[in-house]
Structure 1
Amino acid sequence: MSEPSIAVTGCTGKLGGRVARQLAGKGVPQRLIVRDEKRAPRLPGAGVHVATYQDRGALSRALEGMRTVLFVSAKESPTRLDEHFAFIETAASVGVQTLVYTSFQGAAPHATFTFARDHWATEQKLREQRFASVILRDSLYLDFLPMLAGEDGIIRGPAGNGRVAAVAQSDIADVATAVLLHPEPHRGQTYSLTGPSALSFDDIAQVLTRRLGKPIRYYAESIDEAYRSRAHYGAPQWQVDAWVSTYTAIASGEMSAVTSDVERVTGHPPLGLEDLPLSPA
């Protein structure tokens, strides 16, 4: 087997793990970059390097010789941008040619969803570097929607009548895999990855009621209600702001655009909520 030229980060998570397994299934050698070697998937043709995004020495060794890298965004935290910038600078310093970055739909400096601002800043940093980038602006994960209902079957959030074009993680992984395998035609592109339609939370509740076999409904909270209903988690303010702003971004229409980018890159249409594999209640 030839030496790998593709590296995958985030492979202990769902998205990066899907990509790593797809590459392995195609017989493609790869390098997995992980923080914890014990959690790394054991895949044929995959070597494992341990490094965090901010450990420039270990990261340089992990990225050395890699031409194309899947850069899965870091865990949400107040230091996330520092981690992203360190990763990008290190990748540039060792000669990576193409970084494939998982961003967010509607990334902008004044986006309603607070973390979309971090994604925008990361995109700008990528554009400043010497290598090419491919930006995958993922909508809200379709896989996340069934988990939004509480034990009482109610989805609560200040999304009003807004709509979201949520995308399945499997479709994002298919796009990322296609780009990693043949990066040349995608370099410099920004793809907005969405599902086949934009759904309101009333729509989502109706589909989940039918598919899960139990009643699900949506309650449109006010912003004050949203903060109060999440206070019992004891999360830091920046985290609660992000939770609430996910819904207010939907209310403002910032996640409603539907694109054909999944099909354009992969050749197959994206999954909708009706098609997403679910475990019955």
Structure 2
Amino acid sequence: MSSPVLVTGATGTVGRPLVAALRALGVPVRPASRRGTDPEGVAFDFGAPSTWPSAFDGVSTLFLVRPPHIANVARDMVPSLVEARRRGVRHVVLLSVQGADRVPVLPHARLERWLRSSGMSWTFLRPSYFDQNLSTVFAADIRDHDRILVPAGAGRTAFVDALDVASVAAAVLREPGLHRGRAWSPTGREALTYSEVARILSEVLGRPVTYRDPGILGFFRHARTDLGMDAPMAVTTTVIHATARLGVAKHLTDDVRLVTGREPASFRSFVDRERAAWERPGA
């Protein structure tokens, strides 16, 4: 049997459907998460060297996800990647972010630079903005206050369903040699303003949802105070949303179809599927 693919962040937004997709394709997989809840998986923590051997041994291909709380990747992630290389990992598929090649301060960009010089082969997945951010990070704002607060101005954002990103990742990990040195940017079908997003949510939920731009500093305060983010995560989240107001988050690609052979899901289909995230109890 071929060596398993190590999937970090295996319980996350992309990791969970990726593990399922790899299993459906018959690809051996070793799910890794901090709690190691999968019966076929391992407990893994980038900051805990004791967890590294059981994760990396016998693995040649790694799906790499940066935990949101890690901002200093050189200190908190690179040592584990050095150990992965020493133990035989040869190819890394990095879940990066759209714009990492243009915004060098992003932690994802720093990981990309390190991997380019690491001696391991690599593939970068730079998805656009996840639909699922609205059903997780911003779910309470929408559910409890009928509002979306992000500093995107009137700019457009290329949304993508994380399930489509997982499908792209599965295809790459199934045959990593075909994607060596490639950077794919999976996006959905539409680049939407947040006013349009609010309109679609309003139509599906049957109540008015509004979009308000609190500005850069206002959003940073909102992220820290109301969303409970620590400072590094709040900075990263602010930068990602601010790219929309600068006009650099709207770029659409055909990469989902090119890699998987099928069209990406629409934003409305995502809202229909996930509507329970924003419905009020008893409504």
Normalising to structure 2: TM-score of the pair? 0.86
Q: Which residue of 1 aligns with 2:169?
A: 176
Partner of 1:8: 7
- Residues 1:278 and 2:274 are matched in the alignment: yes
| Larger deviation, residues 119-128 vs 58-67 | 58-67
Question: Which has the larger displacement, 154-163 or 3-12?
Answer: 3-12
Alignment counterpart, residue 185 of structure 2, candidates 179, 184, 192? 192
Q: Report the alpha carbon displacement of residue 41 of structure 1 after superposing the two structures with TM.
A: 2.5
Corresponding residue SS for 1:243: helix
Deviation per CA, 1:161-183: give whole Å up to 9, x if none. Answer: 11110111100100111111111
Instruction: Between 256-265 and 211-220, report the one with greater CA deviation.
Output: 211-220
Please name the residue that 1:134 is paired with.
123
Judged with a 3 Å threshold, the aligned counterparts in structure 2 of structure 1 residues 239 and 35 are, in CA distance, closer, same or farther, namely: closer
Report the secondary structure of 2:275's partner residue: coil
Matched, 1:166 2:159: yes
1:110 CA drift (Å): 4.1
Q: Give the structure-1-normalised TM-score.
A: 0.87
In structure 1, the partner of 2:38 is 41
SS in 1 for 2:78: helix
Q: Is the 8 A contact 1:146 1:208 kept in 2?
A: no
The answer on whether the counterparts of 1:135 and 1:190 sit within 8 Å (CA) in structure 2 is yes
RMSD (Å) for aligned C-alpha atoms = 2.2
Where does structure 1 lack aligned partners over 5 or more consecutive residues? none
Structure 2 equivalent of residue 223 of structure 1: 216
Please tell me the residue identity of whatever aligns with 2:184.
Answer: Y
Deviations 1:84-141 (Å, cap 9, x if unpaired)? 3123212211221211110010014745xx6xx2111100110112221010012111
Match of 1:83 in 2: 76
- The 3-state SS of whatever aligns with 1:104 is coil
C-alpha separation between the residues in 1 aligned to 2:197 and 2:267? 8
1:92 equivalent in alignment to 2:80: no
Aligned residues: 270
How far, CA to CA, are the matches of 1:134 and 1:122 in structure 2?
12
Q: Larger deviation: 51-60 or 260-269?
A: 51-60
Separation in 2, partners of 1:230, 1:100: 29
Aligned-partner Cα distance in 1 for 2:170–2:112:
20
Give the residue type in structure 1 aligned to 2:178: P
Structure 1 Cα separation of the partners of residues 8 and 222 of structure 2:
35
**Which whole-Å CA distance do the structure 2 matches of 1:263 and 1:249 have between them?**
25
Q: Which amino acid letter does the alignment assign opposite residue 50 of structure 1?
A: A
Quote the offset at 1:5 in angstroms.
2.9
Unaligned runs of at least 5 residues, structure 2: none
Superposed CA deviations along residues 68-91 of structure 1, whole A, max 9, x for unmatched, are 111122232344442331232122
- C-alpha spacing 1:153/1:30, structure 2 compared with 1 (3 Å): same
Q: Distance in 1 between matches of 2:158 and 2:57?
A: 38
CA change 1:84–1:153 in 2 (3 A) is same
Name the CA shift for 1:256/1:224 in 2 (closer, same or farther; >3 Å): same
**2:22 touches 2:170 (CA, 8 Å); kept in 1?**
yes
Matched, 1:123 2:117: no
SS where residue 274 of structure 1 aligns? helix
Q: Percent identity?
A: 27
The AA in structure 1 aligned to 2:122 is S
Residue 88 of structure 1: SS of its match in structure 2?
helix
CA distance in structure 2 between the partners assigned to 1:9 and 1:49 by the alignment: 10
Residue 254 of structure 1 and its aligned partner are, at CA, apart by: 2.2
| In structure 2, C-alpha distance between the alignment counterparts of 1:231 and 1:178, rounded to whole Å | 37
Which residue does the alignment assign to 1:254? 248
Decide which moves more: 259-268 or 144-153.
144-153
Given that 2:73 and 2:110 are in contact with CA atoms closer than 8 Å, whether structure 1 keeps it comes out as: no
Cα distance change of structure 1 residues 152 and 109 upon mapping to structure 2, 3 Å threshold:
same
Structure 1 range deviating more: 56-65 or 14-23: 56-65
Paired amino acid for 1:138: P
How far apart in 2 are the matches of 1:223 and 1:191?
A: 29
Q: Quote the Cα distance in structure 1 between the aligned partners of 2:13 and 2:231.
A: 26
Judged with a 3 Å threshold, the aligned counterparts in structure 2 of structure 1 residues 63 and 220 are, in CA distance, closer, same or farther, namely: same
- Give the conservation status (yes or no) of the 8 Å contact 2:44–2:51: yes
> Is the contact between residue 103 and residue 109 of structure 2 (CA under 8 Å) also seen in structure 1?
no
- Judged with a 3 Å threshold, the aligned counterparts in structure 2 of structure 1 residues 249 and 262 are, in CA distance, closer, same or farther, namely same
Of 237, 243, 250, the residue aligned with 2:231 is 237
Contact 1:12 1:34 in 2 (8 A): yes
